[in-house]
Amino acid sequence: MKLLQRPYQPGDEVGINKLYKLITGQDRSDEQYRWEWMDTWSGQGSIWLAFDEDRAPGDKLIMQYSLIPIPFSVWGESYLAGKTENCMSHPDLRGKGLYFLHEQQYFEEAKKRFQIFFTTTGNVAKGAPGAVRRKLGYKAFDSWVNLSFQLNAKTGPGSNRKGLSGKTWNVLLPCVRSLLHRYFSWFIPKQSNASMEIVDENQAPLKDIEHLWQINKGSYGITVERTAAYLHWRINENPYFRHQYLLYREGEALKGYVIFYKIKSNIIKVLDIFAERKDEKVFKEMIKQLIFLAKANHVDEINCLTSCNNRFLRKIFGSCGFLTGINIRALSILTTEKNLSQKRPFHVFISDNVIKKCQDVLNVRDWYMTELVFEGREN
């Protein structure tokens, strides 16, 4: 093997996308690649590659370590975070220990640009990404939970029948679906009297949203910054999904918003939710309005992804009828806290200078995480 390691150069995306497809099975267009890696809100992402010069032409790329820039706020103070994404090792190299050395080398280089590092999927590929990051000093920080509201009883739970006979399953499933339908029906709201509207992404008042963020960022602990530049890139320019904004106003003043999108199976996914002074009343009004409009438009389900220890969002969505997981086999509606914490795919690394300024930065309950922190593309 003749190893060559270097940063990304124009034209490398051909080999990168080829390796990406080999590993994931997914095609990625030039537009999608440029959006995610070349033309981000903060310039080009950080990409370091390794080639085996002894391999055949067109098949020399064997490793990639890469980070997407994400703006982070720690109690109102701005830092640049790097999200580890598309870190790849050619299948021919698996188990040889070469990838860790590659990432270890350029992790030190990346510290010159980023003050916070994180990965959202440390448990994929049999936990290999998480194992690599923990060796580098990352902390296995938190797990993800899906808050769900079902609007169509026919599309409720029913895919997991492990440990149950067909006869038992056929009797049990309709009963569970009926109970859940009655439960969710209890929380269907009426039309809100508050001043709210839904606009497409190209009509979103990003300057108003950034202003709302700037005057309230100190209330949200550790979270992604809602700047106009970041939202325009992450949401409005996203080539994978079209998003909508639910806006809550009092007079001319923006008091809160929800960003959401719909996936093929007629499910609405809440990407982000934010309100002035972290006002629970505004949060609840927006969530209820989203449920009302989803019901009126025959949506099957609403989901909101957040971190396990985001007690604030779990409490607010729970008060509006959302459930955290459904375990049919155990006939339990709520997934237990113990099960939620068994695996923590959300890994973080905080630089010393951030810790010195805010010693509580690793208090997991102070992190306000929504899907805004994720990559923004189809899995």
Look at residue 255 and tell me whether its pLDDT is greater than 90: yes
Q: Residue 373: inside a domain, yes or no?
A: no
Query: pLDDT, tens digit, for every residue of 205-238?
Result: 999 999 999 999 999 999 999 999 999 999 999 9
Examine the domain organization and report whether 92 and 207 are in the same domain. no
Distance of CA 169 to the CA centre of its chain: 33
Question: What's the maximum distance between 2 C-alpha atoms anywhere in the chain?
Answer: 68
What is the percentage of the chain residues whose pLDDT exceeds 70?
87
- Indicate which CATH number applies to the domain containing 62: 3.40.630.30
User: 327 falls in which pLDDT band (50, 70, 90)?
Assistant: very low
Residue 351 lies in a domain: no
What does the pLDDT read at residue 136?
A: 96
Please check whether residues 175 and 273 belong to one and the same domain.
yes
Q: Is the pLDDT of residue 257 over 60?
A: yes
pLDDT for residue 68: 98
Q: Over 50: is that where the pLDDT of 328 sits?
A: no
Q: Which residues pair with 224 in a beta bridge?
A: 72
CA distances from 22 to 19, 61, 83, 122, 317 (A): 5, 12, 22, 20, 39
The answer to whether residues 55 and 155 belong to one domain is no
Say if residue 223 is in the same domain as residue 334. yes
Task: Calculate mean pLDDT across residues 278-290.
Answer: 97
Residue 76 lies in a domain: yes
Task: Please choose, from the candidates 331, 313, 89, the residue with its C-alpha nearest in 3D space to the C-alpha of residue 223.
Answer: 313
Same structural domain for residues 88 and 168?
no
- The rounded distance, in Å, linking the Cα atoms of 80 and 160 is 41
User: Three-state SS for 82?
Assistant: strand
**37 lies in some domain:** yes
Lowest average pLDDT, out of 66-75, 314-323, 332-341, goes to: 332-341
How far CA 34 is from CA of 38, 41, 146, 217, 238, in Å, comes to 5, 12, 30, 30, 11
Position 154 confidence tier, pLDDT thresholds 50, 70, 90: low
Domain limits for position 334: 147-341
Angle at 224 between CA 223 and CA 229, to 5 degrees: 155
104 pLDDT band (50/70/90 cuts)?
A: very high
Point out the domain boundary residue: 80, 115, 143.
143
Residue 183 shares a structural domain with residue 117: no
* Token couple for 193: 């009297």
Confidence band, pLDDT 50/70/90 cuts, at residue 341: very low
Per the structure block, which two tokens stand in for 77? 């103070």
Q: What is the tally of structural domains in the chain?
A: 2
Mean pLDDT (the chain) is: 89
Q: Are 113 and 133 in the same domain?
A: yes
Please count the other Cβ atoms lying within 10 Å of the Cβ belonging to residue 122: 26
The dihedrals phi and psi of 224, each to the nearest 5 degrees, come to -75, 140
Among 89, 124, 143, where does a domain finish?
Answer: 143
Residue 127 sits in the same domain as residue 200? no
Q: What is the pLDDT of residue 183?
A: 86
If asked whether residues 71 and 213 sit together in one domain, one would say no
Model confidence band, residue 153 (pLDDT cutoffs 50, 70, 90): low
Kindly state whether residues 112 and 192 are assigned to the same domain.
no
Q: 134-144 burial, b if ≥16 CB within 10 A, otherwise e?
A: eeeebbbbbbb
Q: If 0-12 CB within 10 Å is exposed, 13-18 middle and 19+ buried, where does residue 197 land?
A: exposed
**Is 258 domain-assigned?**
yes
Choose among 372, 363, 343: nearest CA to 144. 343
Tell me the average pLDDT across 339-347: 70
What are the tokens at 328? Answer: 């049919």
Query: Which of 169-178, 290-299, 320-329 has the highest average model confidence (pLDDT)?
Result: 290-299
Q: Do 169 and 71 share a structural domain? A: no
Per-residue pLDDT tens over the stretch 33-68: 999 999 999 999 999 999 999 999 989 999 999 999
Query: In this structure, are 316 and 190 located in the same domain?
Result: yes
Q: With respect to residue 357, please indicate whether it lies within any of the assigned structural domains.
A: no
Mark which of 126, 143, 160 sits at the end of a domain: 143
